[in-house]
Amino acid sequence: MHYEEQTLLWNAELGQLTQRSNRFSNVRLLLFLAAIVLLGVAIWRNNWWIALGAVAALGAYLVAVFRHDSVEQARKRAAALVDFNTEGSARLDRRWDDIPFRHVSTTADEPPLAYDLDITGRASLLHLLNTAYTNVGQARLREWLLHPADLPTITQRQSAVRELVELADFRANLAVSAYLLGQEQHTYEQFLDWAEAQPVLLKRPLIIWLSRLLPLVSLALMIGFVLGALQLQWWILALIINQAFSVVFGGGSGHTMSTVAAGQSSFRTYGALFRQILDQPFHEVGLRQIQAQLQTGPGRADAQMRRLARITSFVDLRLSLIYPLIQIATLWSFHITWLLELWQRDVGPFARPWLMALAELEALSALATLAYDHPHWTFPTLDASATCYEAADIGHPLLPPQKVHTNSLTVGPPGTFMLITGSNMSGKSTLLRSVGLNAVLAQAGGPVCASALHMPPLILATSIRVQDSLEHGVSYYMAELQRLKEVVEIAEAADERLVLFLLDEILHGTNTTERQIAARRIIRHLLRQHTIGMVSTHDLTLAAAPDITQASQPYYFTEHFERGPDGPTMTFDYTLRSGLATSTNALNLMEIVGLPTEDA
């Protein structure tokens, strides 16, 4: 209900701001036309009083431009808040089509578990945590999900996330500001490259002083002409000299203005965002460290970004039809470039660290939003001395909350594994992914879909989704072997962290006899590496070997099948039971979908 109420509220605000913005557009057009007409009349009648009227109209036009810009910023923010709250409702219901997928580029070293557990990609954990809107925030969150933190870092993140959970308005405003920045993300790397580069114009002081002197000379000549003391051609000659100076020496200034102007609409947003962060009275150490990072350099990050926004606001004059006249008369681009390069020299080296601090807070805020949206979830306890993964009422975090079925389980101690049997569609794969995804969330510093979770720091090794490859000439069975080899290598290379392996339908790409032999050998080898794990299978004889039986903890899922007046039906309760499965359902499923189940 919270998201729905906020959506209605901000939709009403958006409508009012849109009307104001439209009115300013009309006023700007009228003032601009008035300035052009008055200037033309002044030149035609050689009347400087009318010329002053044109200047006044131009001044009013510039004021309207800046006022309109302020209204547009408020309108964009209201629209972003509408989108944010609409997406919030979609997140709660797991309506993935209504949650924008903000793509984060993958790298060659992305582990298989990212695909096995739905950590990245559409309808994934990263998709659910979509309130990290900027590229840097999404990249940081992806890094946290794929690379487990150490215990002190996890503890600190949990503390920061807990504090942010209570700051709903702060998180919403942070997300909206980042959302507005996200629309400019294609330019931020270009901006950082400029910010970290060396100034050009500042190294040419003669050009700077000439760019100041020449407009003063042309102004003096214009005044002399208006007062009747000089001929018009002297002023025209001065303008020609200005134009020549601009053409010869202004290339670098134009490039600088174009580079910075590409992201100028985001600078004010950065300033507001950084101010929001710095003005928030945080208590947790990690959050205060982020604030400290934003105060490095010659001033606070928010003040410096607002300063840059003020400078770049004058770049907008380039879009005006009368800009060529302003440039000839004042050498405008040189003065703006000088101001930009002062900022570049003094502040530029601190821009990237500020963005990294923002990325950290965005990732923490995304985890806090997840906890806020799911108040029945809990924060896990991680213990370096623990030897088991112990979960109470654990569920799959990507399923709609109303459809989540929970179970309690213990995986471990080392040298043992859970053997999960059961019929098709009964919940075996979902349970494995539930265990894996909640471990990922726990080691990122976030909440978990469980009433309690106690676990040691873990390394996850998975073989759940295996695909053959026609392009690379890899059969399904070979693809399975390659994936299992990766799991074994992870287990063999593990040092301090305990390995949790998750194997779904191991080696079902070959015949039954060889599958049983190969699967038992792989499981034995993994257990000798001091690991814990879960193995799901349809093969009830997998644990028939005495040593495997001794190391296994058997559990199963089942179903209820009945034939009624409307035909056969099958239901599942997704409840984990101790022991081996007592039924199969392949033939029953064939009957339900209408396939023949009897011999001809």
The pLDDT value given to residue 506: 83
191-218 per-position pLDDT tens digit: 788 888 888 888 888 888 988 888 888 8
pLDDT digits (tens, 9 = 90+) for 39-69: 788 878 777 788 888 888 888 888 888 889 8
Flag whether pLDDT at 452 surpasses 80. Answer: yes
The mean pLDDT value for 223-247 works out to 78
Q: Give the integer Cα–Cα distance in Å for 529 and 20.
A: 68
The pLDDT value given to residue 407 = 97
Which range in 178-187, 270-279, 436-445 is most confidently predicted, on average pLDDT?
436-445
Q: Which residues of 451-487 are buried (b: 16+ CB within 10 A; e: fewer)?
A: eebbbbbbbbbbbbebeeeeeeeeeebebbbebbebb
Residues near 167 by Cβ (< 8 Å), separated by ≥ 6? Answer: 280, 368
**154-174 residue pLDDT tens:** 999 999 999 999 999 999 989
Q: Is the pLDDT of residue 257 over 80?
A: no
d(CA 105, CA 142): 10
Q: CB–CB of 371/446 below 8 Å?
A: yes
Inter-residue contact 242 to 328 (CB < 8 Å): yes
Q: What is the pLDDT of residues 106-146, one digit of tens each?
A: 555 678 899 999 999 899 999 999 888 888 888 899 999 99
Q: With CA atoms as reference, report the closest residue to 440 among 163, 122, 129.
A: 129
* Alpha-carbon separation of residue 282 from 160, 200, 304, 305 (angstroms): 9, 40, 22, 22
Please tell me the chain's helix, strand, coil percentages from 3-state DSSP, rounded to the nearest 5.
60, 10, 25
Q: Residue 491 and residue 415: Cα distance in Å, rounded?
A: 12
Domain borders along the chain are 381-593
Q: How far apart are CA 324 and CA 332, in angstroms?
A: 10
pLDDT in tens, 341-355: 899 999 989 999 999
Residue 223, C-beta contacts closer than 8 angstroms, at least 6 positions apart: none
Q: Which of 100 and 581 is assigned the larger pLDDT?
A: 100
Q: Mind listing the pLDDT tens digit for each residue in 370-413?
A: 999 999 999 999 999 999 999 999 999 999 999 999 999 999 99
CA distance 483 to 28: 64
Q: Exposure string (b/e) for 549-580, b if CB count within 10 Å is 16 or more?
A: eebbbbbbbbbebeeeeeeeebebebebeeeb
CB 122 within 8 A of CB 96: yes
Q: Mean pLDDT for the chain? A: 85
Q: Once rounded to an integer, what is the mean pLDDT over residues 530-548?
A: 86
Confidence of residue 177 (pLDDT cuts 50, 70, 90): confident
User: Tell me: the pLDDT tens digits for 483-529?
Assistant: 899 999 999 998 889 999 999 988 765 556 777 788 889 999 999 99
Residue 473: band (very low, low, confident or very high) from pLDDT cuts 50, 70, 90: very low
**CB–CB of 580/423 below 8 Å?**
no
Long-range (24+ apart) CB contacts under 8 A made by 63-69 are 64/24, 64/27, 64/28, 64/31, 65/28, 65/316, 66/313, 67/24, 68/21, 68/24, 68/25, 68/27, 68/28, 69/313
Q: What pLDDT shows up at residue 125?
A: 95
Strand, coil or helix: what is 252?
helix
3-state secondary structure 35-89: HHHHHHHHHHHCCHHHHHHHHHHHHHHHHHHHHHHHHHHHHHHHHHHHHHHHHHH
User: What are 427-443's pLDDT values in tens digits?
Assistant: 899 999 999 999 999 99
pLDDT at 471: 43
Global pTM value: 0.83
Burial class (CB in 10 A: 0-12, 13-18, 19+), 435: buried
pLDDT in tens, 314-337: 776 766 667 777 778 888 788 888
CA distance 172 to 278: 16
Whether the Cβ atoms of residue 196 and residue 352 lie closer than 8 Å to each other: yes
Could you report the per-residue pLDDT of 239-248, keeping only the tens digit for each? 788 788 888 8
The pLDDT assigned to 255 comes to 65
| Residue 390 burial (CB count, 10 A) | 19
**Sheet order of strands, 389-394 included:** 381-382, 452-455, 389-394, 407-411
Q: What percent of the chain has pLDDT over 90?
A: 43
SS (H, E, C) 376-440: CCECCEECCCCCCEEEEEECCCCCCHHHCCCEEEEECCCCEEEEEEECCCCCHHHHHHHHHHHHH
CB 354 within 8 A of CB 275: no
Q: How far is CA 115 from CA 119, 121, 435, 466, 547, in A?
A: 7, 8, 15, 10, 32
What six digits make up the tokens of 320?
């005006």
Under a CB-based contact definition with an 8 Å cutoff, are residues 454 and 571 in contact? no
From residue 89, alpha-carbon distances to 3, 258, 593 in Å are: 6, 40, 35
Q: What is the spatial distance between Cα 403 and Cα 573, in angstroms, rounded to a whole number?
A: 11
pLDDT at 570: 67
> With bands split at pLDDT 50, 70 and 90, how would you rate the model's confidence at 147?
very high
Residue 559 pLDDT greater than 50, yes or no:
yes
472 band by pLDDT with thresholds 50, 70 and 90:
very low
Paired tokens of 286 = 């990690």
- Specify the higher pLDDT residue, 314 or 338: 338
Asked whether residue 470 carries a pLDDT value surpassing 50, the answer given is no
DSSP state of 503: E
pLDDT in tens, 214-225: 888 887 887 877
More confident residue, 297 or 148: 148
CATH class name, domain 381-593: alpha beta
Question: Is the Cα dihedral 529, 530, 533, 537 positive or negative?
Answer: positive
User: Residue 479: its pLDDT value, please?
Assistant: 79
With H, G, I as helix, E, B as strand and everything else as coil, classify residue 474: strand
